[in-house]
Amino acid sequence: MPVEGGELAVEVAGGGRRAVLAVHGLTGNCRLWNWLRAEAPEIALVMPDLRGRAGSYRVAGRSSVRRHAEDLVRVLDALELDVVAVCGMSMGGFVAVELATRWPGRVRGLVLVDGGLPMAVPAGLTPDALPAAFAPQLERVSRRWADVDEYLAYFLHSNPLLDPRDPLLRDCLEHDLDDGRVLLGREAVLADATDVFFGEHRWRALATPTELVCAEWSAGADTPPAYSAEALAEFREALPVLGRPRRIAGTDHAGTVMTRAGAAVVGAALHDVLLRVR
């Protein structure tokens, strides 16, 4: 799909006019939604690779949450989709909120998956410290991988609860690779991370039905979650359109969408949003 700076790669699964625009996270790609497709094949999905990632790696221009939302409006226009539900994971949740608040007529409902609402900034994190904070995620860019198995072994160090035998995971990681290199723009990741942690948050302007799915942990068992119980209670009080948050027990951030159990909860939330806005 044509966007400013190049062409955005987009995969479409299923049919029908009641499509769901599915937006991946900071270092992900469109195959993040493999598990949702497996758990809810009846849902029509529009799945872009955001600029600076995978099939959209070579799209030129600075990345930002606002720019991603603008790109997605172009995608909807190209597909002649006037209004859609939007599902965003992690940073993709912030893009979904940006889209729903700046172009409210294009979004009929939201499902936010461990993202989209302000997260507590880790102690000591500043914009200047982001390169060090994201060094493990960005290390993959500087290396040439012998094959997907070597890349998978590295990926599991940061995502220990995922199943290394899962063919859906293997397919997702293969989509990152081109001749042994990971198609992930370092500057795009850092610019988008700056937006997520230190940028303007428009969530208070949400006026569309919204569901929130969140993990029990952040990265591995017993790690603090992205959203505490206290934060969730505050969001519900401040945001009338927000339904009761769904906490997925026994999962961390990645497992909210990269496991069948997590994807089943996300699929149920999407069905609830679609029913609420008929």
Once rounded to an integer, what is the mean pLDDT over residues 255-276?
95
Quote the tokens at residue 134. Answer: 């994201």
Q: What is the pLDDT of residue 122?
A: 81
Report the CATH number at residue 71.
3.40.50.1820
Q: Report the distance separating Cα 24 and Cα 86, nearest Å.
A: 11
Once rounded to an integer, what is the mean pLDDT over residues 204-208?
96
Query: What domain count does the chain have?
Result: 1
Once rounded to an integer, what is the mean pLDDT over residues 232-243?
96
CA atoms within 13 A of residue 64's CA, in its CB half-sphere: 12
- Cβ(159)–Cβ(258) below 8 Å: yes
- Cβ(115)–Cβ(92) below 8 Å: yes
pLDDT of 276 over the 80 cut: no
Chain-wide mean pLDDT for the chain? Answer: 95
Quote the tokens at residue 165. Answer: 């035998």
Q: What is the pLDDT of residue 101?
A: 98
Q: What is the pLDDT of residue 17?
A: 58
- Cβ(247)–Cβ(212) below 8 Å: no
- Tokens 């017993």 found at: 222
Q: What is this structure's pTM?
A: 0.97
Q: Domain range holding 77? A: 2-276
Q: What is the pLDDT of residue 264?
A: 98
Q: Residue 18 — very low, low, confident or very high, per pLDDT cuts 50/70/90?
A: confident
pLDDT of 182 over the 70 cut: yes
Q: Which of 221, 225, 247, 224 is nearest to 160 (CA)?
A: 221
pLDDT of 278 over the 70 cut: no
Over the stretch 105-129, which tens digit does the pLDDT of each residue have? Answer: 999 999 999 999 999 888 889 999 9
**How far, in Å, are 103, 111, 222 from residue 255 at the CA level?**
30, 16, 14
8-state DSSP, 53: B
Q: Which of 210, 195, 272 is nearest to 243 (CA)?
A: 210
